[in-house]
Amino acid sequence: MSDQDRKARLVDLGPSRKEIELEIPSDEVEREYVKVLADYAARVKLPGFREGHAPQDMVRNLFDHDVLHDVYDAVIPRAVDAELKARGLVPVNVPEIRGLKHEHGQPLSCTVAFEVLPEFELPDYRSIQVPTQAVTVDEAEVEKTLEDLRAKAAEYVPVVGRGVGDGDYVAAEIQGREVRTKRLLPVEKAVVLAGHADNEAALNEALRGLPAGETRLFRVSYPKDHANKRVAGKDIEYTLNVTEIKEKKVPALGDEFAKSVGDYTDLNDLREKVRLEIREARERAGRNATASAVLREIAKRISLELPESVVEQETLSVLRRMLSSARQNRVPAEALEGLKVQARAQAVEHLTNHLVLEKIARKEGFQVTEEEVQGEIKALAQANGVSEKALTEVVARENRRSEIEETLLFRKTVDFLVKSAIIN
């Protein structure tokens, strides 16, 4: 009996939820049963019989339940796969088998529940209008970037001939003694930014003007609710010993500085490159904002029921990224529910955009060439400081070529949407 003798009825529970009511003929089940039973008989060891020579009737009586389950594990997936292929359906989750019914000599019946990516109609995305703003670069932004570069290039040099000043980095040894009990606290070695607002005011005062190698006393009266329980509500007298003082030296903003931070001929060359980088970054941000606005407009105009299993999986991925980025700060339990809601919203947006871009790319006939793939691999290699050959081998070994192709295809589609958008 062939696959055509199976009975199957597709039930649409929604755009993304489907069921197949399946009936597998008794002779197909029986053929598989005979095959599995023979395999059991060939392997089983029963008292009084050599391995593989036990009577099949005895094997059947002892292992009928196990044999049947192996039969179901063989015939049901095979039948389900055939039905899915015949109907052009691709589940996004593992199909769930429900209501399995079977008796020896009778057909096997069950219901197969699964989810698929839904079909939907695209709106006229070429006519979508989104606002945008002209890209400008303020001179103050250029100067701020140059100042940031100067700060990064700063050096910390030992201080000679003077005591500590505000802004100096001070290596010190500090030991406290409880005034009432005379009990000494452990010696602490620390690097202190003199004059910083977070320091104890008495510490900043004690540091001011103190030369390296000298000692000074200062006292702090701590409130009872102080975060450090060891000193809360106590008067502590500290002995402060400065071992080293370093001051921050920021290079002058000039031609020599420009040459020291990169391949620039002079300060004007550096300034123009900074201005260009700011403009390019702003243009990229504007392009991304335009693309996001177009995709949001498309999402408003389509009816799309996403498979719940896919939404849950993507929500979990988004939530993990959120918690990973916040790992330095413990997330309160009351805030976690809010994060889950936010993660689900982001997941729905990501999945919707993915399906929309995929459908537009297919409709517009966009393709990715071999040259483009190799160009992307080369760019990724340069960005990550690895050889192009090594990255090519990684891509091949980890089967990541399809990821690169999808990235390039979506990038083309986004560029197309941005160029096609009618800007107010």
CA pseudo-torsion sign 268, 271, 275, 280: positive
**Domain 155-249 in this protein, CATH class:** alpha beta
What's the rounded Cα separation, in Å, for the pair 218 and 201?
10
What's the rounded Cα separation, in Å, for the pair 76 and 97?
9
Neighbours of 282 (CB within 10 A): 15
CA pseudo-torsion sign 381, 383, 386, 387: positive
What's the rounded Cα separation, in Å, for the pair 413 and 291?
10
Q: Which is nearest to 8 in space by CA: 90, 82, 59? A: 82
- Specify the CATH superfamily of domain 3-115: Trigger factor ribosome-binding domain (3.30.70.1050)
What's the rounded Cα separation, in Å, for the pair 321 and 339?
11
DSSP state of 230: T
Distances (CA, A) of 382 to 378, 388, 390: 6, 8, 11
What pLDDT sits at residue 1? 43
What pLDDT sits at residue 49? 83
What's the rounded Cα separation, in Å, for the pair 367 and 353?
19
Burial of 303 (0-12, 13-18, 19+ CB in 10 A): exposed
What pLDDT sits at residue 338? 86
- Specify the CATH superfamily of domain 303-423: Trigger factor, C-terminal domain (1.10.3120.10)
For every residue of the chain, which 3-state class applies, written as one string? Answer: CCHHHCEEEEEECCCCEEEEEEEECHHHHHHHHHHHHHHHHHHCCCCCCCCCCCCHHHHHHHHHHHHHHHHHHHHHHHHHHHHHHHHCCCECCCCEEEEEECCCCCCEEEEEEEEECCCCCCCCHHHCEECCCCCCCCHHHHHHHHHHHHHHCCEEEECCCCCCCCCCEEEEEEEEEECCCCCECCCEEEEEECCCCCCCHHHHHHHCCCCCCCEEEEEEECCCCCCCCCCCCCEEEEEEEEEEEEEEECCCCCHHHHHHHCCCCCHHHHHHHHHHHHHHHHHHHHHHHHHHHHHHHHHHCCCCCCCHHHHHHHHHHHHHHHHHHCCCCCCCHHHHHHHHHHHHHHHHHHHHHHHHHHHHHHHHCCCCCHHHHHHHHHHHHHHHCCCHHHHHHHHHHCCCHHHHHHHHHHHHHHHHHHHHCEEC
- Token reading at 313: 């999986």
Neighbours of 386 (CB within 10 A): 12
pTM of the model: 0.69
Residue spans of the domains in the chain: they are 3-115, 121-154+266-302, 155-249, 303-423
What pLDDT sits at residue 228? 87
Burial of 80 (0-12, 13-18, 19+ CB in 10 A): buried
CB 235 within 8 A of CB 219: yes
pLDDT in tens, the chain (424 residues): 445 578 999 999 999 999 999 999 999 999 999 999 999 988 888 887 877 778 888 889 999 999 999 999 999 999 999 999 999 999 999 999 999 999 999 999 999 999 999 999 999 998 888 888 788 999 999 999 999 999 999 998 999 889 999 999 999 999 999 999 999 999 999 999 999 999 999 999 999 999 999 999 999 999 999 888 889 999 999 999 999 999 989 999 999 999 998 899 999 999 999 999 999 999 999 889 999 999 999 999 999 999 999 999 999 999 988 888 766 567 777 778 888 999 999 999 999 999 999 999 999 999 999 999 999 999 999 989 899 999 999 999 988 999 999 999 999 999 999 888 766 5
